[in-house]
Structure 1
């Protein structure tokens, strides 16, 4: 069985080609085709335990168990301490992971958008192994749910990938991320795995509806990355199994919807926690701790923020600041691992302000009855730098292609924002701009490409 697999930074989806040659997205969670890219484990070693049990009696089983033996030797005591029943994995994915994190933020291990970390520079071998385990555990469960619906074993897939996984690191970072995903997909049971740029996948879905050739600039603003692909498309091109000669340019950066959420949370909510206030000496508050609290897609900053040293530092600062009641809120975030919940309110603000003039963010997780009114103007100010970077990516793609596009095709969860559209139009001029399926275009294109190359 052949599928397209969008292992996205915000959501995961799987598509298959139906008998009527239309792409069908499979249900992955409670009647929904899009599963949030999140994982929660009551203890991080439970992820290793889950993968080891799934790989038992497979070609990968013995080698995997030997490579994780030190961790697995302590799993019995961990399960007993957590009072886990036989058969209870202690791990959750998707919305269930978010629900568990909200209920028990300080007790387990929660990761959102794991793909955002795969290309990180300076990862140690044990960190790469752990990301392989996270990806494997998620892909195993997603694949199993898809196979239950299809009543068939899935063997071949094309997985979407950004043009660049990281802003720095270059091709070495890209290869590291692709290797992690390849290892995970193979361990999950896929026999053949190929990759396709996510904006190209979205473009392939758009191309299937064209009745004349066009030069198309596809701008995919995903959860973790923004990517542009400038492609020649249409009836003269879509039957080809090799499309490299049709690609005029690619640009991409690790900057996506998650970064817009982080920027919104930082500028809108951190002042409630003391950002922009002063020390008793009159000096401004250092902003590094506030940035660490919000930067949920940076492994190193999050590790630093939730370390005991940060807790001691914040507690010591309480007597030196002019507004200790505000800094106490940052300490609450630090001690209860609430960064994801705070940034989630940034995301909800961004979504609501796509159509509404203002949004009231609920921050009771930090302080009882704490709220913050966020306006469209405040959102625009918060994400102005990110909008400029996205426009530069698009301009660079056009410059590299040495020609103007006939149309701009927008896709990705944040592409529906009127602020992004307005910024692109101001930067690029009066080029026709179309919106695709903001969530389904990539999956549909991956599915069509998988069907074409594996047929």
Structure 2
């Protein structure tokens, strides 16, 4: 059986076609979505877990080296890896929030794919993370359907990163392919996520239209200008229908990061000065919450950076606030801060004001945010998204008949208004914000693997 697999930055979901209709496959009880998170005692646990608990071997010599290193480090730490050591989705988040400093936690490893300049062993480790998540989703779906799943179409953004070009995209797609093969998928194809979302919308059309698909996901925003309708439905060769594509790594994660940076990090000392009058480097406040930047995370949580933070603590005028930054480092609380920023973003879609509660080990930090402050905080990523829409229309050379918006972050009234500002006379429509890509991937799988 062939499935569509949305390996998303925020969530993973899968679907298949039954009697011509899309059926999403529940993964956690009756829930069809599992958040793209993983938690384990250590990072090294993940590689050994694949080998020892799932019988999934490395794909190459570099992977073998990563596995050998992981096994040795786990032995040195006295860790005997068992299946329950690696958790996914809400279980992973719950364990992290319970004791952040004593676990390895990662959200959205898809955000790291395509990063240029990483060593082969780092890339191989990211492959292990993706493979573990894919294997978890595959096993859950197979348990629900009571049959093996060996064929899949996986969604991918137009561009995994805003820089790196084809080399970046090729690297990321190769990691996804190897991870999927190792997880047990024998036949794997890829489809652009905005095209997949468009295929689902196309199933509702009774006449041909020029459609601009704007897919604002957790990690990327992608725009595809596509000819759609009965003339194209069901065709394997869609080359003539694809008019223009734009995409960049800017999405829901970036909105959360900017809200945290602009509105929450002042509680951790951003804006305070040293007694000498010099500023504290702004990177000390950006790096801990830049969860989609592996280099930034490494720099902040490095052991040597703690020495720098303690020196800043002695020199800071508002040492009580900088002490929280030290605590953030000690307890690896960057993801917890981002989670509170995300909750604020969602709440301020309806409310005019929201109070954020950041729970440190020793105290609770409260910060009030208004809707206008939130909108101001996310102006940078909003402008990037507007630029992608404008570029797609420019490339197409024609105006769309309709704009189809999808992706979890497309629910934002701020972003919907931003798109409307560019195309004020074009109707904006939406389907299933979270499920359109998955449904379109399932439709494409049904065409590809007939």
TM range (shorter): over 0.9
* Residue-by-residue CA offset, 1:401-424 (whole Å, 9 max, x unaligned): 000000000000110111011111
Q: Secondary structure at the match of 1:122?
A: coil
Distance, in Å, in 1 between the alignment partners of 2:76 and 2:432 is: 44
Q: Paired residue for 1:24?
A: 23
Q: Secondary structure at the match of 2:339?
A: helix
Q: Paired residue for 2:5?
A: 5
Runs of 4+ in 1 over 6 A off after TM superposition: 58-65
Q: Secondary structure at the match of 1:157?
A: strand
Q: Is the 8 A contact 2:344 2:354 kept in 1?
A: yes
Runs of 5+ unmatched residues, structure 1: none
Distance, in Å, in 2 between the alignment partners of 1:259 and 1:198 is: 19
Residues 366 and 65 of structure 1, relative CA distance in 2, 3 Å threshold: closer
Q: Is the 8 A contact 1:359 1:375 kept in 2?
A: yes
| Alignment equivalent of 2:152, drawn from 157, 162, 169 | 157
Q: Is the 8 A contact 2:193 2:215 kept in 1?
A: yes
Q: Within the alignment, does 1:39 sit opposite 2:34 as a pair?
A: no
Deviation at 1:281, TM superposition (A): 2.2
Q: Paired residue for 1:121?
A: 116
Deviation at 1:286, TM superposition (A): 2.1
Distance, in Å, in 2 between the alignment partners of 1:182 and 1:108 is: 28
Distance, in Å, in 2 between the alignment partners of 1:16 and 1:404 is: 33
Residues 366 and 410 of structure 1, relative CA distance in 2, 3 Å threshold: farther
Distance, in Å, in 1 between the alignment partners of 2:74 and 2:360 is: 34
TM-score, normalisation: structure 2: 0.96
**Where does 1:324-403 land on structure 2 (aligned, <5 Å)?**
324-365=319-360, 368-403=363-398
Residues 64 and 230 of structure 1, relative CA distance in 2, 3 Å threshold: same
Q: Is the 8 A contact 1:49 1:75 kept in 2?
A: no
Distance, in Å, in 1 between the alignment partners of 2:266 and 2:60 is: 52
Q: In the comparison of the two structures, how many residue pairs are matched?
A: 450
Q: Is the 8 A contact 1:52 1:65 kept in 2?
A: no
Q: Within the alignment, does 1:71 sit opposite 2:66 as a pair?
A: no
Q: Secondary structure at the match of 1:4?
A: strand
Residues 18 and 154 of structure 1, relative CA distance in 2, 3 Å threshold: same
Q: Paired residue for 1:424?
A: 419
Distance, in Å, in 2 between the alignment partners of 1:189 and 1:4 is: 15
Distance, in Å, in 1 between the alignment partners of 2:419 and 2:278 is: 39
TM-score, normalisation: structure 1: 0.95
Distance, in Å, in 1 between the alignment partners of 2:219 and 2:75 is: 36
Q: Paired residue for 2:214?
A: 219
* Residue-by-residue CA offset, 1:351-408 (whole Å, 9 max, x unaligned): 1111111111111226523211111101111001111110110000000000000000
CA RMSD in angstroms comes to 1.8
Residues 97 and 78 of structure 1, relative CA distance in 2, 3 Å threshold: farther
